[in-house]
Amino acid sequence: MKEKIWTKDFIFVCLSNFFVSLNFYILATAFPLYVKDILHGNEQQMGLAITIYSLGIVLIRPFSGIWVDRFGSKKIALVGLGLFLIASFCYFGAMGIVVFLAIRFIHGMGFALASTATTTIASSIIPISRQGEGVGYFSMFMSLAMVIGPACGLFLWKDKNITVLLVAACIISALSLLFAIVLRVSQQKQNGPELNQTTVPKKKMHFSDFIERKALPISILAFLLAFSYSSLSGFLASFTAEIHQTQIASLFFVVFAMMIVVFRPIVGKAFDKYKEHYLYYPSILLFGIGLLMLSQSHSGKMVLISGLLMGIGYGALFSCFQALTVKLSPIHRRGIATATFLLFFDLGYGLGSYFMGLIASMVNYSMMYAVAGIITLLSTTLYYLFHHRPQAKHPFKIKI
């Protein structure tokens, strides 16, 4: 008899992470438009609204893994979500660009703490025998937020009313904190069964205290995936306006989300049953081809087809990467491994938002998406060198 995945606590942690991620992606889509429409900024400045947020994430993420393993995942989740909610309210008082960016930075710090803690909680709740399937379901909620959020952001910003946008953001943040409060996690599950036996206080901080080496190959690939994906959430609305298909932007993200929902359960079960290579190569090909197709799109139909391909590919890739991160790392270092994965993903998203905006300002959006597609396809070389080939020689004993 299979061990259960869908426990009450697993549902609570999935919903908590969904709402905090939803807030992130709603504002990641709407705030660049706020900079463009109200502050009259250019593409680089639009990307800065995301990059500053990501900088806050990146700076705190290495410490979040240590704190999760040391103080417990639920405590850090509540601290992070509390800071996240406070930052959401503070936007009401942002009267200038400097204050606005400072709040974005603090908001990012709260997200880093919350997402590392909730992801660690989820991986500890899921039965070991069903890690691929369980992580797949958990990351499905994150991915849904990633694709529903931009559509919601566009809808909330359609009247260019910042108050409506911020009220929605605060309500969503409060819901995330509420689900974390009612979540029950035992001390053993928070820290891992080996923690008390293997963890001892250290006088000096080392690289391994911040980064899980066994998670590095997959985390580098996650960086490249996020780098390319950032071109969608931050600039798709402007691209569709450029090709006179403004109404398609929201529908694109709906199609993207539907593909993730339909294929995610299949992907999770396939991960547990087969080698990850059978998932990775077709998925990265679909995502890369989708970006290249988008770069050549001049009709709403082509935009939606590209969204369909990318939804299938991205949904499989993200859950595959996240499950591999947990599988390759020691159980008592789940917090640090999760932080490593998310650190690189967030760094890719933040840097991608800036550099993709730079490419768009220098050339155009079509070239920007072509570059994103090429980066995606070239990343297969790194996967083969860093993960596929080493694992073929020493399965799950990769040394870096």
pLDDT single digits (tens) 79-122:
999 999 999 999 887 777 778 888 999 999 999 999 889 988 98
pTM of the model: 0.73
pLDDT of residue 79: 96
Residue 248's nearest CA partner among 258, 239, 257 is 239
Give the sign of the dihedral formed by CA 123, CA 222, CA 359, CA 365.
negative
Angstrom distance (rounded) from CA 351 to CA 227: 7
Q: What's the mean pLDDT in 15-36?
A: 87
187 pLDDT above the threshold of 60: no
Mean pLDDT of 248-264: 83
pLDDT for 395 equals 54
Predicted confidence at residue 332, as pLDDT, reads 74
Here the CATH number for the domain that contains residue 101 is 1.20.1250.20
pLDDT tens figures, 331-372: 777 778 878 888 898 889 888 888 888 898 898 899 999 999
| CA dist., res. 41 & res. 307, Å (int) | 28
**Count of all residues that appear for the chain in the document:** 400
Instruction: Give the C-alpha separation, 48 to 310, whole Å.
Output: 25
User: Is residue 236 a part of any domain in this protein?
Assistant: yes
Whether 197 is covered by a domain: the verdict is no
The stretch 152-175 carries a mean pLDDT of 91
Q: Is residue 222 part of a domain?
A: yes
What's the structural domain count of the chain?
Answer: 1
What per-residue confidence (pLDDT) applies to 396? 47
For residue 148, the number of C-alpha atoms closer than 13 Å in the C-beta half-sphere is: 15
User: φ, ψ for residue 299 (rounded to 5)?
Assistant: -135, 160
**What local confidence, expressed as pLDDT, does residue 142 receive?**
79
Q: Lowest-pLDDT range, 46-60, 165-179, 382-396?
A: 382-396
The pLDDT assigned to 400 comes to 37
pLDDT class of 145 with cuts at 50, 70, 90: confident
Output the average pLDDT for the chain. 83
- Residue 20 in this model has a pLDDT that exceeds 90: yes
Asked if the model's pLDDT at residue 266 lies above 80, the reply is no
What pLDDT is stored for residue 14 in this prediction? 92
pLDDT higher than threshold 60 for residue 399: no
Q: Specify if 39 maps to a domain.
A: yes
pLDDT at 195 over 50: no
- Sign of the torsion angle spanned by Cα atoms 295, 371, 277, 124: negative
Residue 351, CA atoms < 13 Å, CB-side half-sphere:
14
Instruction: List all residues 6 or more positions away from 352 whose beta carbon is below 8 Å from its beta carbon.
Output: 226, 227, 228, 229, 230, 231, 372
When pLDDT is cut at 50, 70 and 90, the band that residue 63 belongs to is confident
Q: Is residue 156 part of a domain?
A: yes
Helix H, strand E, coil C: the string for the chain is: CCCCCCCHHHHHHHHHHHHHHHHHHHHHHHHHHHHHHCCCCCHHHHHHHHHHHHHHHHHHHHHHHHHHHHHCHHHHHHHHHHHHHHHHHHHHHCCCHHHHHHHHHHHHHHHHHHHHHHHHHHHHHCCHHHHHHHHHHHHHHHHHHHHHHHHHHHHHCCCCCHHHHHHHHHHHHHHHHHHHHHCCCCHHHHHCCCHHHHCCCCCCCCHHHHCCHHHHHHHHHHHHHHHHHHHHHHHHHHHHHHCCCCCHHHHHHHHHHHHHHHHHHHHHHHHHHCCCHHHHHHHHHHHHHHHHHHHCCCCHHHHHHHHHHHHHHHHHHHHHHHHHHHHHCCHHHHHHHHHHHHHHHHHHHHHHHHHHHHHHHHCCHHHHHHHHHHHHHHHHHHHHHHHHHHHHHCCCCCCC
CA dihedral 64, 318, 20, 190 (to 10 degrees): -40
The residue type found at 56 is G
Residue 324 lies in a domain: yes
In a domain, 298, yes or no: yes
* Whether pLDDT at 57 is above 90: no
Domain that holds residue 367: 8-191+209-393
Alpha-carbon span 145 to 139, nearest angstrom: 10
| 2 found inside a domain | no
What pLDDT does residue 200 have?
44
